[in-house]
Amino acid sequence: MNYEEKLQNVSVLGAAGKMGSGILLLTAIEMAELQLKPENRSKTFALNAIDVSPAALTGLYGYLKAQVQKLAEKKMVQLRTIYKDHADLIENGEIIDQYIDDVLKIVHTSTSVESAYNSGLIFEAIIENSELKVKLIKQILANNKNDPWFFTNTSSVPINELDTNANIKGKILGFHFYNPPAVQKLVELIVTENTKKEVVDFALEYAKNLRKVIVPSNDKAGFIGNGHFMRDIIFGIKQANSLMNDMSFVEAVYAVNKITQDFMIRPMGIFQLMDYVGLDVCQKIMIVMKPRLNDNELHSDLIDKLISLDVKGGQNSDGSQKPGILLYEKGRVVAVYDPEKKDYIKIDTFQEKIDKMLGTLPSSYQPWKAVIGNKGKDKVLTEYFNELKAMNTLGSKLTKDYVINSKNIGLKLVSDKVTDKEDHVNTVMLTGFFHAYGPINNYLN
C-alpha cells in the first residue's frame, strides 16, 4: 500500500484535544490536497475525528474552518493552480470557500472508537495513560482488517511498551508533535527494533510533506523533550524552595520565573511554561517517567498540592491561558497563587522588593525576542554570559546554577542513551521550546 492509499482512511483518537485537533488539521489538509490532484478526484478520502466529548467535537469544525481559511489566504497562487479547471471560481473568496469545503468534507466526527475500524492509519493523541492506550489499540486491532498502523503522539510512554502490550507487531512508532502542532516545526520520531521499515518510511514522507523537522529519540520514557523539561521543572521548584529562607512562597516563585525567563533569555519562565502545558499534564508525564526510569527525582509535592486545590493551568478553547500557579490578564502575568491562602497574590505588591534582591541584569542584556532572530546571536550571548559570570548578585548566581544544571540534564540524556547526539538535545530545545540557545553550550565554561 503506497503513501496515498494509506491516507485514504485515517482516524485520530483524541481529536478534540489540544494536540489531537492540531494533528487532525494537518492531516485533513494533507489528505484534501491529495484528493484534489486530478488523478485522485474519483477516490474517497475519509478522516475520522474521534473523541469522548461530544461538546468538544461540536466546536471542532469552527476551529478547522478558521485555521484552513488562514492557510488558504496565504497560498492563493497555489490554490488558483489547483482550481484552474473550475471556471465558476473567479474571486479569491470563492476559491477560499471551495478549499475550506474540500478540506472539511473529509472530516467526520464521532464519539465511537468503532469509526477507526476501517482506517489504515491511526493517530493516537489521548491522555498519557499506557493502559488506556493499549486498551484502545487492542480493541481496534481486534476489529480492523486493514492492517492498521499506529502513530502515537505520546510524549512519555515507551513505544516498545505499547507495541508489546497491544501486540502490534512493529506497526507502531512515536510521532510526537509539539504544541501547537499546526505551528510547531518539531516532531520527535521514536522507533523500536521491531518497528517495520515501511512504517518509518511513511512517517518520514508524511513529515516531509508537513514541512516538519524530525529529531530521532531513543525509546526511553519522556524521550528528549520531556526528559529535559520535567527535570528543568524539578530544579526550578528546588530553587524556589531554597529561596523561601529569605522570602515568601509567592515571592520565590516570581523570582525563579523571572530568572528562567529574563536572566536566561527564554520565551517563558519555568512556572509560566508549566501553566502553558498544564500542571496536570506535567504530573501525568512524571508519573509515567518515574518508575520506568527508576528516577525518584521525577516527582513534585508542589504540583500534587496545587492540583489537589484545582490549580491546573492549561489553555481555554480560544488559546488563552487558564489560571495556574500564575494568574494572567491579557496574556501578562499579574499574580502568583499562594496554596496556604488559597488565593492569588498580586505581583505588584512585592515585585520591587524581589527585583532589588535579584539585582540588575547585565548591561548587555537583550530580551528573548531580540535575540532569537538575531543572526549574530552567538556573539550576543557570549558577551551576555561573560558579563553574567563576573557578577555576584543573587540573580546572577541563580542563573548560573540553572544554566549549568540545564546543561547537565542535556548531557545526562546523552549518557543515558535517550539520544545519540548532543545536537539532538539542542535541536529539540531550540525548535520545540523556542529557546534562544541549546542547553549543551560553553557560555559559562
pLDDT tens, position by position, 264-280: 999 999 999 999 999 99
Burial of 84 (C-beta count, 10 Å sphere; 0-12/13-18/19+) = exposed
8 Å CB contact between 423 and 393: no
pLDDT attached to residue 221: 98
Does pTM surpass 0.85? yes
Architecture of domain 225-432 in CATH?
Orthogonal Bundle (1.10)
pLDDT in tens, 374-388: 999 999 999 999 999
Per residue in 29-84, pLDDT (tens digit) is 999 999 999 898 889 999 999 999 898 899 899 999 999 999 999 999 999 999 98
Q: What is the pLDDT of residues 196-221, one digit of tens each?
A: 999 999 999 999 999 999 999 999 99
Segment 17-23 shows an average pLDDT of 94
Write down the pLDDT at residue 305. Answer: 98
* Domain layout of the chain by residue ranges: 3-217, 225-432
CA-based nearest residue to 280, from 237, 324, 346: 324
Cell, residue 284 = 501525568
Q: Is 273 exposed, middle or buried (0-12, 13-18, 19+ CB in 10 A)?
A: buried
Q: Does the structure show a pLDDT above 90 at 230?
A: yes
Lowest mean pLDDT among 56-60, 152-156, 299-303: 56-60
Q: What pLDDT, on a 0 to 100 scale, did the predictor assign at position 367?
A: 97
Alpha-carbon distance of 184 to 182, in angstroms, equals 6
pLDDT tens-digit profile of 321-354?
Answer: 999 999 999 889 999 999 999 999 999 999 999 9
In which band, very low, low, confident or very high, does the pLDDT at 319 lie, cut at 50, 70 and 90? confident
Among 1-5, 10-14, 93-97, 158-162, the least confident range: 1-5
Mean pLDDT, the chain, rounded, equals 96
Q: Give the pLDDT band of residue 303 (cuts 50, 70, 90).
A: very high
pLDDT at 55: 87
Lowest mean pLDDT among 55-69, 122-136, 227-241: 55-69
**C-beta of residue 374 within 8 angstroms of C-beta of residue 364:** no
What local confidence, expressed as pLDDT, does residue 445 receive? 86
- Give the contacts of 82 (CB within 8 A, at least 6 positions apart): 33, 36, 99
pLDDT above 80 for 4: yes
CB 158 within 8 A of CB 152: no
CATH architecture assignment, domain 3-217: 3-Layer(aba) Sandwich (3.40)
pLDDT band at 23 (very low <50, low <70, confident <90, very high): very high
What is the model's pLDDT at position 87?
83
Amino acid at 287: I
Q: Decide if pLDDT at 85 tops 90.
A: no
Does 132 score more than 80 pLDDT? yes
What is the rounded average pLDDT of the residues 160-178?
97
Q: What is the pLDDT of residue 137?
A: 98
The rounded percent of the chain whose pLDDT value lies above 70 is: 100
Rounded to whole angstroms, the Cα distance separating 286 from 83 reads 49
For residue 108, what is its C-alpha cell?
467526520
